[in-house]
Amino acid sequence: MKAGAEVRADDELIRRLLDALPFPAALFEATRDDFQCLGSNPAFNRRVGLSRSGPAGGRLSDMLDGPQQERALQVCKQVRSGRQPGRLVVRGEGGQDERPILSSFDVLPVRSRGSRVSHILMVSGGAAEDVPREREARETRLRERADHLEELERAKSEFLNLASHELRGPAATLRGYLSMLEDGTLGPLPEGLRQVLPVLQAKASQINVLASEMIEAARLEERGMELHREPVDMRELLTRLAASVQATAPHHRLVIHDRSPGPVVVSGDRLRLEIAVNNLLDNAVKYSPGGGDIYCDLSSVKDMMLLAVRDTGIGIAAEDMPRLFVRFSRLAAETMPDVPGTGLGLYLARELARLHGGDIVAVSGPGEGSEFTLTLPLDEPAAR
């Protein structure tokens, strides 16, 4: 009699404990393969669609219909043998909108004093029908974020177009007056002005290059860029651009090493190739603020032209290399906030190189300077 009273007391304690839980829960005996239910709370019963108040004493399979029975037994056996938690999804009765409720349960092993699993506890924090709804909400948020990012990208492209056109007008006027000063159209120049005129012309050219970069970046985004190919002498182009950059960088010395015995001619869009090369030279100057030599090694290997631009500046950390050619990315903005630029230069240079069938690769290390190598296919007569 005492043993029976203790069992009834244990059953009552289990029911009270389960009823006190704020979430669906049920306890099953795990020593037999039918997993007898020792108790469940009303929330659990409602979740699995049971009409009676509680299935205590019943089997797990009695609580579920059809294919769900086999799946539930399989999960419980796996939890019992593996002594690791599992997950079970069951379909209950329809909710307020008459749709069946999918419920997700954590199936937890309860061990006896030894390592054997003596009981199985099923608990649920919410209906699995919420999972698709949460997924839909998450997908909606992702779509909204994607739309927002697309709108930002569109705004950036529109800004690039607008700003570049607004810059080009004043830049053209400035360059026109500087040309008139240089050729004497506006009369003789004071010696002081004559000395600074090359610097003013170089700065005006930089403004024009900046406007061109912004336009080219916008065209790349809009897939509206067309290359106007012609034979381009890369030796002449490099020499001319290096002289222009040198005029605005008195603390640097641009050194050209011409290692190609023959002509270095590519079939390309002259304006776009000038932008790419100028950006490499300008980048080398900007990121070696202490001055020093910048080496431009021009060579050719078989049917490819190689132009390596090497500086002795601050270098680039390994973790920053993946962002090197990303549009609007400025790696030294925090450590060198005074460095001018839009973050378009290297992005545009590599994209233009790739449009020509070439590429740009970089090698660098912190405090070791950087080397950017532009490769382009040689024009067929030059390659021969």
DSSP SS3 for 286: helix
- Whose structure tokens read 């450590």? 335
Confidence (pTM): 0.52
Cβ atoms 195, 138 nearer than 8 A: no
pLDDT per residue, tens digit, the chain (384 aa), is: 444 555 455 667 777 888 888 888 889 988 888 888 888 888 888 777 765 444 556 788 777 766 777 888 888 999 988 888 888 877 655 444 444 456 678 888 888 766 788 888 988 755 444 555 556 666 777 778 777 777 776 776 666 666 666 677 787 888 888 888 888 888 888 888 888 888 888 778 777 777 777 777 777 766 667 889 999 999 999 999 999 899 888 899 999 999 988 889 999 999 899 989 999 999 999 888 888 899 999 999 889 999 999 998 888 888 888 888 887 776 654 555 556 566 788 988 999 999 999 999 999 988 889 999 999 999 876 555
Q: Cα-Cα-Cα-Cα dihedral of 92, 93, 95, 99, to 10°?
A: 90
What sections of 116-129 are H helices per DSSP? none
Q: Distance between CA 297 and CA 308 in Å, rounded?
A: 5
Helix (H) or strand (E) holding 70: helix 67-82
